[in-house]
Amino acid sequence: MKLSSLDIRRLLVTMALLATVTLGALAQADAAFSHAWVAKNYYNPAAAGEYNAIHLTLGSRMQWVDFRNAPMTFYITADMPYKLMRQRFGVGVKAEFERIGLYTNTRIGAQVAYKRELAKNTYLSVGVQPGIFSQTFRGHEAHAPDADEESSVDDAIPKNDVSGTAFDANVGVYFSTPRIWAGVAVTHVTAPSIELKASREAPDIYEFKLDRGYYFTAGGNIPIKNSLFEIQPSGMFAMYQKAWTAQVATMLRYNRMLNIGVGYRHNDAVTAFIGVNLKDAYIGYSYDYPVSAISKATFGSHEVFVTYNVKLENKEKNKNKQKSVRLM
């Protein structure tokens, strides 16, 4: 039987969704952001407090936009530097909401990083992010197209909605100077197992295991002599229990205002970036064009990132100054 392009598209979608359901227990649970160079403390809690400001980040990724129930991730972080007993720290909070296939994941965590100044404006940080990972599986939506009613769902797959929550934690080390930065981090360090149940009294228990993720990230800022241009390369290597991925990106910044760039994720996608700096804010957009076989069923993925810095006053220098209402 000859399949039309529409039939092939539906088959690919069905295979992707069934893989999400049946292999979910083996999947890594971190979003693959193309804007990894913006979302530093999404992967590494040691990057919290990097800026001398309350640093806010909003990020969203819409992956494989033509798929029904395609992965969608939204997250927000807020972090700032903090001094305690003459020691430097970074503190922050992180919240994330994700829908992927029939799973809905919610993650909430607090970040604390201890910062050691090795030289002027050169820091080494160690950070931890304790939190919770909550998951729901929409079992009432699980079915295999064109299957008969009795065998439409495998017995190993919940037929009702089930949910559960577990303790989760990330740790990391981060090094930064005015020109370069690098970090290593481990996500889901306890490799928690989440017991999914329809209710507390329900006899059936389903398990979702979070694999550890190992991340190395690095980047830099290279001014081009006698010009208003800067080159900002970055990269990330990630490894999980049974898989690995790597991505690189290069941004060209003009007059500290306009950013354009390109990137590549191994065996997955090529990326185009554009962004603009507006005083204390950054607005960025990226488009991923898939280079794998999945390109037959989708036109790509989209990301939007917004950051904003609320500047902190130096109390020691400004303790005798009055603030004008015109500057508020």
- Name the token pair of 19: 């893989």
Indicate the DSSP class of residue 20. H
Residues comprising the chain, all counted: 328
Output helix, strand, coil percentages for the chain, rounded to the nearest 5: 15, 55, 35
d(CA 254, CA 266): 28
Q: Where are the domains of the chain?
A: 5-144+157-256
Per-residue pLDDT of the chain (328 residues; tens, 9 = 90+): 343 444 444 444 444 444 443 333 334 579 999 999 999 999 999 999 999 999 999 999 999 887 777 889 999 999 999 999 889 999 999 999 999 888 899 999 999 999 999 999 999 999 999 999 999 988 777 765 554 554 455 566 767 789 999 999 999 999 999 999 999 999 999 999 998 888 777 777 888 889 999 999 999 999 999 999 999 999 999 999 889 999 999 999 999 999 999 999 999 999 999 999 998 999 999 999 999 877 777 889 999 999 999 998 765 554 444 444 443 3
The answer to whether 227 and 168 are in contact (CB under 8 A) is no
Per the rule left: phi > 0, alpha: psi between -120 and 50, beta: everything else, 146 is left
Among residues 34, 3, 5, the alpha carbon closest in space to that of 295 is found at 5
- Strand ranges for 142-298 from DSSP E: 162-176, 180-187, 193-196, 206-209, 213-220, 222-223, 229-239, 244-254, 258-265, 269-278, 281-290
Sign of CA dihedral 284, 285, 290, 294: positive
Cα angle, residue 52 at apex, residues 110 and 171 outer, rounded to 5°: 30
Residue 314 has what pLDDT? 65
Residue 167 bridge partners (DSSP):
132
| Other beta carbons less than 10 A from residue 143's beta carbon | 12
d(CA 231, CA 179): 11
- Name the token pair of 136: 């729901």
Residue 325 has what pLDDT? 40
Residue 7 has what pLDDT? 43
